[in-house]
Every structure is written in C-alpha cells, then in structure tokens.
Amino acid sequence: MNEQYSPTGFRVLPTVVKHLLIINVLMFLATFTLERFNIDLTDILGLHFFKATDFRVYQLITYMFMHANFGHLFFNMFALWMFGNTLENIWGSQRFLLFYMVCGIGAGLCQELVQYIQYTTVLADYATVNTGGQIIPMSSYLNMMNTVGASGAIYGLLLAFGMMFPNSMIYLYFLFPIKAKWFVIGYAVIELVSGLSGGSNVAHFAHLGGMLFGLILILYWKKNGLSGPNFDLKKWKGWFWSRKDKMGKKKMKYTRYEEVKDEVPRNDGEYNRQRAEKERNVDALLDKIAKNGYGSLTQEEKEFLFKNSK
C-alpha cells in the first residue's frame, strides 16, 4: 500500500513546472496589457475550430498558455504545482514535459473533434446564427468557437498522479480527504456527465481528452518498460541503463548511494562489476517505491535516484 506522499527531500519547484508557471503568468499579464493597444492575444493564440478562418495549427500549443480569467489561471497553476512537482521529480524534466504537451495537444484535438461533430450534425445546414442579440454569418460564429486554458494538460497530470499514487490522500477544497484514485474517477465522471449534458462554455471533452491521451501514453510506456512506479519498475532500469550506455562510461561509482569519483575502469570486467553494483542499488530503490511509495525513500536515496535519472 502506498504511503501518504510528501515532497520532502527533493525539488518542490522543479525546472519544467517552474517555467510553465512563469510562462502562463506572463501570458496572462500580456493578454490584459495588450488589450489596451487593441491586440487580442486570446483571439490570436486561443484554439479556434479548424474550419474557422482564424484557425492556425500553432494554436494547438499556444492555447494551453492562455486563460480566461484569474480564477481559471489560479486553479490550473495550483494543480500544476500540486501534481506536477511530484511527477517531474520522478519522471525527470524531459519526460514530464513530453507528457504535459501530449496531454495538452491531445485535449485540443478532442475539442476539435467534438466541435466538428457539432458542426456536421447541427451547424452545417445554416448560413447564419441567431446568438440571441443579433444574427451573424456562420463564418463569424465559427470564429467565436475559441478554447483556452491548460486544463486538458492538467487533467492528464491528475490521471497520472492517481495511477502512480492511488492511495495518496488529496484534500478536496482543502478540507475533505479523498484517495487519489477516487478523486480521479470522480472528476472523470463529472466531466463526462457535464459534457453530455451540454449548455456550458467549459470544454469538458477537452479535459477528458487530456486524460485519454495521458492514459494512452502511460500504457505505451508500460508496454515498453518505461512506466511509473505503480507499474513494474524493474522494466524501467533497462531503459535507464541504456541511456547511460549512450552517454558513455561514467568516471564514478556509487557505494550505498554515495557518489564517489573514481578512475576509468581498468577493464571490461571492472566496468561490468561497477555497473552491476549500480543496478542492484537502483533495483532496491525501485522495489522500495513499488512497495511503499516514493515518499518512503530517505533523502539520501532520493538524491541517488535523482542523480542517476539525469
């Protein structure tokens, strides 16, 4: 059973999470600043329906860094820090960034698909749309279909956290404790019901799309032995050591997780012995995580595992 997770002894604000927070805040400030000069960043960088004249391919990426209001930004960024710091520390920066971007782009693609279904089943037969206050051409209405926010990517992180730490406690509204696995399932059900019900400007299917693409990527990693600690961690070490081999033989060895500089191995036998020792240490830590969770590692063990995952 996983222990309660606590980010003690490692980076509470890792590199990618920190830069994502900074970029999102800067884009939010830029949006309202440039409005004074009649420059609408939301219209330029938000994700338009692909049949609209304002659609651009790059919007599948840029829409993730745009937010409608302060509340939208705050809760997304809080969730990014809350779940992202854990995942990045375990996965490493490059892998975490890949996962984040895949979930965000996947969420955007799902939103485009839902809008296309709406277009073909309802809108395609009309030339104009009555918005309640005025009648506008269909082309103008399609340009109004604009999606912004990092929520799709955030829901992907939520899914990953729930799969890796299913028994960790999350405090709903900072008051009510709930296990991560039930939290994830509950939010997925709420988004599905809300999306099917309609009548909301919230991109519920984009949120589900982020979770879907996150699940696909995690299952792909699992199949190829690159999964998180809730899966078979021993498979991960094969990928881990293959990365080390590509970087060349290292001029160091580890004894009980302490980094000790050493001369280049005198022969292949010496190199193989040093590598086997490292593998045993990594195996022991991965088994410990699988049994008790990442939070069960000592600070020394976390530092050793982190140094060997670069």
CA distance readout (Å), 156 to 167, 188, 228, 253: 18, 11, 14, 37
Question: Would you report the helix, strand and coil content of the chain in percent, each value rounded to 5?
Answer: 65, 10, 30
pTM tops 0.85: no
What's the mean per-residue pLDDT of the chain? Answer: 80
Question: What is the arithmetic mean of pLDDT over 287-307?
Answer: 68
- Tell me, what's the pLDDT at 245? 54
d(CA 130, CA 125): 14
Mean pLDDT is lowest, of 33-47, 108-122, 270-284, for 270-284
148-179: pLDDT as tens digits: 999 999 999 999 999 888 888 777 766 778 88
pLDDT over 70 (residue 111): yes
pLDDT for the residue numbered 293:
60
pLDDT exceeds cutoff 50 at 9: no
Tokens of 293: 């969770």
Q: Using only C-alpha atoms, what is the Rg of the chain?
A: 23
Element (H, E) at 254: strand 252-255
Higher per-residue pLDDT: 140 or 277: 140
What phi, psi does 136 have (nearest 5°)? -125, 155
Q: Which domains does the chain have, with CATH numbers?
A: 15-223 (1.20.1540.10), 233-307 (no CATH)
